[in-house]
Amino acid sequence: MSDDSVLKIVILGEGRVGKTSILSKYFSSKFDKNEKSTVNPSFYETNINYNGSNVQFKFWDTAGQEQFNAISTMYYQNAVGALLVYDVTIFETFQKVETWVRTLEEVVGQNIVFVIAGNKFDISDKKTLDQNINTVNEYCQKKGCKHFYTSAKTGFNLVETFEFLTKSVCDKLKQTTGGVSTKRKGRHIEIADTKKPKEKKGCC
């Protein structure tokens, strides 16, 4: 991988699950409960420290509504990672995750790294979470991916989610290409060189 490369990560999920709100909260510490649905893709840039090297990422926020699927698939190309977001209060949005993953893998291949985020944890109820967690865990185990509960409103687990995803992408690329580095600058995220992140409450 060249030193001037930028690693692309796409944020996917149904409309109104909180994809844009997650990015806004994480990158700008802002939350707007009246955030409008995304129609045109936008992106945020950041760089992390991975084993002493700066690695640049670009996070693409794509339109989530099904009617935009034909348009948004072009933005999957060259992606090395993905964050799949669903609304824990509307479990049908998790059932749509499998469709998004299948489309993603068809475009970029089976080796893409992705994490699933169950958003709106702050307004969830324990009974609903308990009813659905087995289905979530079974799918994540089948796909070999990590699941986090998150809240775009409070910021719950956002740092853990983004750090795990970016480090996992770097680990994957190191295995397949022998190294990962960039020279560009962005928001700095310090990531420890550990095999697994510390477990956090609400993360499964």
Return the ∠ at Cα 135 (arms to 170 and 105), rounded to 5°: 40
Residues 146-174: tens digit of each pLDDT: 999 999 999 999 999 999 999 999 999 98
- pLDDT tens readout for residues 168-197: 999 999 888 766 644 433 443 433 333 333
The Cα–Cα gap between 175 and 1 comes to 12
Residue 164 near residue 110 (C-beta atoms within 8 A)? no
Report the amino acid identity of residue 98: E
Q: What is the pLDDT of residues 115-135, one digit of tens each?
A: 999 999 999 999 999 999 999
* pLDDT tens digit sequence for 61-96: 876 555 556 666 777 889 999 999 999 999 999 999
> Rounded distance, CA 151 to CA 140, Å?
20
Domains along the chain with CATH numbers: 7-190 (3.40.50.300)
Length of the chain: 204
CA distance 117 to 140: 11
